[in-house]
Amino acid sequence: MAAPPKKAFPLRLDPGLYAAIERAAASDLRSVNSQVECLLREALAKRGIKLADPVRAKRGRPPKETDDE
């Protein structure tokens, strides 16, 4: 089953806030986009808003097809 596509939207941020997120992302070895998503999930969890676990993209090669059929 393929993961549903992510929702894309423009986000305007104060340059200082963006720089801080960028530094945090680099120290966590994440992209800025992934860091923002992580921070939003943490903030929602603090408020008691439960979310389903994110659907992770499968990594690596797909399994080889066999001719057994």
Give the pLDDT of residue 69: 53
- Reported as a single tens digit per residue, the pLDDT across 13-22 is 999 999 999 9
Mean pLDDT for the stretch of residues 23-27: 97
C-alpha 32/C-alpha 34 separation (Å) is 5
HEC string for 4-65: CCCCCCCCCCCHHHHHHHHHHHHHCCCCHHHHHHHHHHHHHHHCCCCCCCCCCCCCCCCCCC
For the full predicted model, state whether its pTM sits above 0.85: no
Whether 2 has a pLDDT exceeding 60, the answer reads yes
Angle at which helix 32-46 crosses helix 15-27, to 10 degrees, equals 100
Give the pLDDT of residue 1: 55
Whether 64 has a pLDDT exceeding 60, the answer reads yes
